[in-house]
Chain A
Amino acid sequence: MAKLTLGRLLAIALRVGNMTFGGGDPTMAAFHRELVVRRGWLDPDQYTLAFALARVTPGTNLLAFCAGVGWQLLGWRGALAMVLAPTVPSAVLAVLLTHTAAAWGNKGVISGVFGSLAAAAVGMTAAAAWLLLKPHLKGPNAVRPLALAGGAIALSLGAWLSPVQVLGLAAVAGILWRRQEAE
């Protein structure tokens, strides 16, 4: 088994983080395979702790997971390496694509391509909302996610509250509703 070094960790983070499509869950699964199963650098409890805490850390779950794993392995150096390796190369690609869109997005055939991508983005955004709710829509507790999501839609479309205010209100509602269920 190869010894854990910053260079080796960085190489794995670069490969897994920039060659795994599909967002957070497939990437975290690939890190499990590389760091827990294949190399044994991280024990299953450490992986689970980072996985669970990443879910409750604000921002992008995958990056919080990477920071947590890197910090447990090599301290701050590991956290920085694990966060920057999956983001910097992908960000450079995103900038190149955005520059192309800004420069060529209104011209001829390219305009049609970017118009189609924008339409697809609408469907993808709606799908992201559905996928957030879907796992919680089973059984008698389905009314809670539907009520909170519906309330957020109403408050947002009615322009009564800003999104941050809606989210704050939802956090309080989530605590109170859960307490009522427990009682």
Chain B
Amino acid sequence: MNLVLLYLLLLKAVATSFSGLASLPVLRADLVEHHRVLTDAQLSMAVAIGRAGPGPIGLYVVSVGYFAGGLPGAAAGLLALVTPAFLIIPALLCLRRAGSRPELRGAIQGVMFAAAGLLLSTTLPLARHAVTGRLSAALAAASFAALAFTRVDAAWVILGAAAVGLVAGLAG
């Protein structure tokens, strides 16, 4: 895939979201469904890798870029991840009170709620590839519960899932 196009598609996904994984539905629609340069299995893996280490949650975009275009793709992912951040500077200069305007807050909340819905609908195609038996179903459910209802760090969830997979692989 053309590197500029990959950057623009990743940028579009990042810039139309307001939090880490909220870019996932847009990214999946473009790279998995439309351009077919990424599989759902790779997308699931990228999400897990993005949460495995330190840094922002949106870092999974770098992993997506690598799957889609190797090292140059990863660089495009990193660039797409950081580009929108600098929009805060004109905002600091011109819109110091914008955050308190009810219209803007309403629009952002609307986008955030829809992003939550889109994220939920994205889990279905991801689950079709990743949840293939009782063990993987239990891991998905346990990961959801750990992150949704406790304050445990995501890194521990990733480590725990990896350990379970390792033990299951050695045993089976």
B55 touches A156 (CB 8 A): no
A90 touches B18 (CB 8 A): no
Q: A1 at interface (Cβ–Cβ under 8 A)?
A: no
B106 touches A151 (CB 8 A): no
Chain A contacts of B140 at CB under 8 A?
A: 119-120, 122-123, 126
Q: How far is the CA of A68 from the CA of B102 in the complex (A)?
A: 22
B143 touches A113 (CB 8 A): no
Q: How far is the CA of A163 from the CA of B50 in the complex (A)?
A: 22
Partner of A57, one of B52, B53, B77, B84: B84
Chain A contacts of B111 at CB under 8 A?
A: 167, 170-171, 174
Interface residues on B, range: 35 or more
Q: How far is the CA of A61 from the CA of B162 in the complex (A)?
A: 28
Q: A93-B53, A167-B16 are in contact. Are A79 and B108 (CB under 8 A)?
A: no
Interface residues on A, range: 35 or more
A87 touches B169 (CB 8 A): no
Q: A44 at interface (Cβ–Cβ under 8 A)?
A: no
Q: A118-B129, A122-B123, A157-B121 are in contact. Are A132 and B116 (CB under 8 A)?
A: yes
- Chain B's nearest CB lies how many Å from the CB of A77? 12
A87 touches B78 (CB 8 A): yes
Q: How far is the CA of A133 from the CA of B55 in the complex (A)?
A: 23
Q: A99 at interface (Cβ–Cβ under 8 A)?
A: yes
**Digit string of B1-28 for contact with A (CB within 8 Å is 1, else 0)?**
0000000000010111111111011100
Q: How far is the CA of A21 from the CA of B151 in the complex (A)?
A: 12
Chain A contacts of B103 at CB under 8 A?
A: 175, 178-179
Q: A9 at interface (Cβ–Cβ under 8 A)?
A: no
> For chain B residues 70-116, which have a beta carbon within 8 Å of chain A?
71, 74, 77-78, 81-89, 91-92, 95-96, 98-100, 102-116
B67 touches A19 (CB 8 A): no
Q: A122-B123, A151-B114 are in contact. Are A91 and B62 (CB under 8 A)?
A: yes
Q: A112-B166, A124-B154 are in contact. Are A66 and B85 (CB under 8 A)?
A: yes
B114 touches A170 (CB 8 A): yes
Q: B126 at interface (Cβ–Cβ under 8 A)?
A: yes
Chain A contacts of B132 at CB under 8 A?
A: 115
A167 touches B51 (CB 8 A): no
Q: A2 at interface (Cβ–Cβ under 8 A)?
A: no
Interface residues of A (CB under 8 A from B): 17-24, 27, 49-50, 52-68, 71-72, 79, 83-84, 86-91, 93-95, 97-99, 101-102, 105, 108-134, 136, 144-145, 148-153, 156-157, 162-164, 166-167, 169-179, 182
